[in-house]
């Protein structure tokens, strides 16, 4: 699995690639927690276009980050869901907490929708 992070204002954009399973989940969890500890990000946006495999261990990591983001008043979203993830995403009902958009801009608009200026 590979990942890269960048910021769009207070949105941490995380691009994932390869395979997210139990083995790679720990590495991602640690990296994202470290990034969130910087206290820059209010929201998190996942680019799932290159993530060709994910199992329930990956779901656990994403939900764990959602809980933290949500607790601090932020939102999570994803865009460009890889077709291989569609069934798992549906089974885990992930879109209830991490809605998926076709493109980055649409997701960013959603995340910023209720934003109060100032943070």
Positions touching other proteins (CB under 8 A) are 19, 21-23, 25, 29, 53-57, 59-61, 63-64, 83-84, 87-88, 91-92
- Residue whose entry in the numeric block shows the structure tokens 């060709």: 52
Residue 7 beta carbon to other proteins: minimum distance, rounded to whole angstroms: 24
Distances in whole angstroms, Cα of residue 95 to Cα of each of 27, 60, 88: 23, 14, 11
Q: Which is nearer to other proteins, 25 or 44 (CB)?
A: 25
Q: Which is nearer to other proteins, 67 or 103 (CB)?
A: 67
Residue 105 beta carbon to other proteins: minimum distance, rounded to whole angstroms: 28
Residue 93 beta carbon to other proteins: minimum distance, rounded to whole angstroms: 10
Q: Which is nearer to other proteins, 9 or 63 (CB)?
A: 63
Cβ-count burial 22-61 (b if 16+ within 10 Å, e if not): eebbeebbeebeebbeeeebbbbbbbbbebbebeeebbeb
């Amino acid at each position: 699995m590979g990942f890269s992070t960048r910021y769009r204002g207070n949105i941490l954009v995380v691009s994932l690639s390869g395979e997210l399973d139990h083995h790679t989940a720990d590495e991602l969890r640690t990296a994202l927690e470290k990034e969130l500890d910087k206290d820059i990000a209010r929201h998190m946006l996942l680019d799932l276009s290159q993530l060709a495999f994910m199992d329930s261990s990956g779901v656990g990591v994403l939900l764990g980050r959602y809980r933290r983001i949500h607790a601090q008043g932020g939102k999570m979203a994803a865009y460009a869901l890889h077709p291989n993830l569609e069934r798992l995403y549906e089974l885990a009902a992930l879109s209830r907490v991490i809605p998926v958009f076709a493109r980055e801009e649409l997701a960013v608009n959603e995340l910023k929708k209720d934003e109060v200026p100032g943070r």
